Copies of this chain bind each other. A is one copy, B any other.
Amino acid sequence: MKISARNQIGGTVSKITKGATTSHVSIDIGDGTIITASITNEAVADLQLRVGEPVKAIIKASDVMVAV
């Protein structure tokens, strides 16, 4: 599957914190940079996410802000 979201960054799951309906997934994309994703618990199970697994962080360009 190819998707229109412009940002598709490879990394490895480093932590998963589960809430009642939402989980926070930490993705190590190298050089000590961690990207945090907030996704549904259902998605964590559906994608069988485990710490140490290779994944991609997918982000729409319109969801990225710039700061100086």
Does A14 sit at the interface, judged by CB under 8 A? Answer: no
Verify B65–A58 contact, CB threshold 8 A: yes
Residues of B within 8 A of A4 (CB): 37, 39-40, 43-44, 46-47, 65-67
Verify B55–A68 contact, CB threshold 8 A: yes
Verify B42–A67 contact, CB threshold 8 A: no
Residues of B within 8 A of A56 (CB): 1, 66-68
Q: What are 19 A-B contacts with C-beta separation under 8 Å?
A: A1-B67, A3-B47, A3-B58, A6-B40, A6-B42, A6-B43, A20-B21, A25-B66, A31-B31, A35-B64, A37-B61, A37-B65, A38-B40, A39-B66, A49-B68, A56-B66, A56-B67, A57-B65, A58-B67
